Amino acid sequence: MFASIARRYDLLNRVLSLGLDGRWREEAARAVFGGGAKRVLDVATGTADLALALKRHRPDAEIVGVDFVEAMLEIGRHKARRRGVTLRLEQGDGLDLPYRDASFDAVTVAYGLRNFADVDRGLREFYRVLRPGGRVVVLEFPPPPKGMLGAPFRFYFLRVLPRVGGLISGQESAYSYLPDSVLKFPPPAELARRLGAAGFTEVHYKLQTFGVSALHIGVK
């Protein structure tokens, strides 16, 4: 499914987030380097938007991106070459990361955790590859709040987004999957609890743009 929308993925991210997704990633990058990280793993890196944002913030840092989908990674490599940036973008499974224990200063994931078949196993893998004192930084779309406050979000997610995404990408099923996956994802407080259950401490989160996105941070 993601391979089928890879060519239009970046455009759709800009359109469907009303251009806000770049701002959310920049905030995540600042959170990563607030902990002094020098070697960062970006899981479910996709077309490498967060990996590139990390490199902009710390050009001397080593950034490794890993993703299931080779078609997305190839677009990320092209973007990095075009910008003269060195990134390692590798194919791999977020549930079975091909890296040694305690080999990264930070682990990030942007809007990919909800696609994991087993979220808790993925969090445990993040913990495993982090060095002691390292940070995990998670960007994700929380379910829209119930009641009147969440009504416009739910209307956009369930009615507008699949139609616009389908028109631009030609793959309406992919953009029907997106709101469905968001509605089934744990709310921010529950995700924070699950980060704690995976072993992370100092877990906290911040809602971005009235709760459309959420930034979670934890420490090993």
Mean pLDDT (the chain) is 88
pLDDT higher than threshold 70 for residue 145: yes
Q: Is residue 151 part of a domain?
A: no
Q: Give the HSE-up count for residue 173: Cα atoms under 13 Å, Cβ half-sphere.
A: 3
Q: Is residue 174 part of a domain?
A: no
Q: Give the HSE-up count for residue 185: Cα atoms under 13 Å, Cβ half-sphere.
A: 27
Q: Is residue 28 part of a domain?
A: yes
Q: In whole angstroms, what is the distance from residue 31 CA to residue 48 CA?
A: 18
pLDDT higher than threshold 70 for residue 7: no
Task: Specify the number of domains making up the chain.
Answer: 1
CATH of the domain at 23: 3.40.50.150
Cα distances (angstroms) measured from residue 29 to each of 33, 40, 136, 165: 7, 10, 11, 27
Share of the chain above pLDDT 90, in %: 66
Q: Is residue 163 part of a domain?
A: no
Q: Is residue 37 part of a domain?
A: yes
Domain of 199, in residue numbers = 3-143+186-219
Q: State residue 75's pLDDT score.
A: 94
pLDDT tens-digit series, residues 61-102: 999 999 999 999 999 999 999 999 999 999 999 999 999 999
Q: Is residue 118 part of a domain?
A: yes
Q: In whole angstroms, what is the distance from residue 62 CA to residue 110 CA?
A: 18
Q: State residue 125's pLDDT score.
A: 98
pTM: predicted TM-score of the whole model, two decimal places: 0.89
Cα distances (angstroms) measured from residue 138 to each of 3, 47, 114, 219: 23, 17, 11, 12
Q: Is residue 57 part of a domain?
A: yes
Q: Is residue 135 part of a domain?
A: yes
Q: What is the DSSP letter of 185?
A: S
The pair phi, psi for residue 204, each rounded to 5°, is -150, 165
The pair phi, psi for residue 196, each rounded to 5°, is -65, -40
